Amino acid sequence: MEITSLGYRTDLLLLELSGSVFHDAGDYVVVRTPGNPGFWWGNFLLFRSPFAPGDTKARVETFRQEFPAARHVALGIDSVDGVIGAEGELTAAGFDLGRDVVMTASEVVAPARPNEEATYRLLDGDDDWEQLLQQSLATATMTVDEEYVRFTRRRLVATRALVDAGHGKWFGAFDGERLQSSLGLMFDGKGVARFQHVQTSPEDRGRGLASTLVHRASTYGLTEGGARTLVMVADPEYLAIRIYRALGFTDTETQLGFSLPPAD
């Protein structure tokens, strides 16, 4: 199965390692995560072409046929240029239009103002992973209800299993034993390493923790990790993208994803 987008290619690699399954239907790829049905971007359709007029209605119907029990709709385009096509139809249907920037680096530079107060280490043990769960909930942009807590816990169980199996590392910045900032770096075994979920607890922001942690993880990835290319996917409207650019990451592709939340 050939995937053009570096963002989606690394997404699918990690999903597959976590137990997701794919079906190539020709015009689109079905991505399913049976162990976490509430995971929108683990249960979606990846189309191979932009949206022509009338495609929004047709592709939503296709999604409903492939995922009859799903309350959400999630659709992507396997492309690199950011061309959506009939964008107005998606907007009119209520979709959130995601245009993430796929960034890459083969070397990095140190942050201008590194945080040297925190302790930087790998997550180790149940307490660290429970803190990661709580941090993920505290930094969520979604409504944190019981369903979201279940989804987040399932996702972290799968993530920890990947780390335990040797597919990546999870890094943290700590004040004593309290987790302040965290991120994952996962390896494809062929020279590419993909960053995951860079986040900092609300009370610890503005201290240079994330930039220092990204730099330390990048250095690890390009040396001990054996990676030649680091991949970071970022929201172009969020301030963190400036941090990544300052560290040496450059914009490479645009990753397109469109989501329609449950009606109720």
pLDDT digit string, tens, across residues 92-124: 999 999 999 999 999 999 999 999 999 999 999
Predicted local distance difference test score (pLDDT) of residue 112: 92
Helix (H) / strand (E) containing 195: strand 192-200
- DSSP state letter for 178: E
pLDDT tens digits, residue range 221-254? 999 999 999 999 999 998 899 999 999 999 999 9
Cα separation, 197 vs 41, in Å, equals 14
Compute φ and ψ for 55, nearest 5 degrees.
-70, -30
Average pLDDT estimate for 134-141: 94
Residue 260: CB partners within 8 Å, gap ≥ 6?
A: 60, 72, 73, 74, 93, 94, 95, 96
Model pLDDT for residues 150-207, shown as the tens digit of each residue: 999 999 999 999 999 999 999 999 999 999 999 999 999 999 999 999 999 999 999 9
The span from the CA of 8 to the CA of 29, in Å, is: 11
Give burial (CB, 10 Å; 0-12/13-18/19+) of 98. Answer: middle
Give the chain's mean pLDDT.
Answer: 96
Q: Which residues contact 216 (CB under 8 A, 6 or more apart)?
A: 120, 171
Count of C-beta atoms within a 10 Å radius of residue 187: 18
Where are the chain's structural domains?
A: 6-101, 119-247
Q: How many CB atoms neighbour CB 31 within 10 A?
A: 24
Give the model's pLDDT for residue 264: 67
Residue 145: what are its φ and ψ, rounded to 5°?
A: -110, -175
Q: Which residues pair with 258 in a beta bridge?
A: 75, 97
Tokens of 35: 């162990």
pTM of the model: 0.93
Q: How far apart are CA 130 and CA 128, in angstroms?
A: 5
* Percentage of the chain lying above the pLDDT 70 cut: 100
Cα–Cα distance, 73 to 75 (Å, whole number)? 7
Supply the DSSP symbol for 111. -
Protein fold of 119-247: Aminopeptidase (3.40.630)
Please tell me the distance from the alpha carbon of residue 138 to that of residue 136, in angstroms, as a whole number: 5
